[in-house]
Amino acid sequence: MKPYYSSANLRRIPELVSLSPQAAAAYQHFEQQVYQTADAIPQKTSRNCSRSQ
């Protein structure tokens, strides 16, 4: 199975963070907010989704 992220690109993250620490901090804050609220709304699944046909 092919990985979603290239390991070569992942190794560049520290360099990118050092080049733009303000943008990196904003992105990390955004990700934290997304993951903290990810369970606030239940995900739609085939088991809890009613279909009208």
Domains of the chain, by residue range, sit at 7-34
CA gyration radius for the chain? 18
Query: In angstroms, rounded to a whole number, what is the distance separating the alpha carbons of residues 12 and 8?
Result: 7
Which residue, among 42, 19, 23, 20, has the nearest Cα to 31 in the 3D structure?
A: 23
* 19 — pLDDT class (breaks 50, 70, 90): very high
* Cβ 35 vs Cβ 43: under 8 Å: no
What residues contact residue 21 under an 8 Å CB cut-off, 6+ apart? none
Per-residue model confidence (pLDDT) at position 49: 56
The region of weakest confidence among 8-12, 13-17, 18-22, 33-37 is 33-37
Per DSSP (E only), the strands in the chain are none
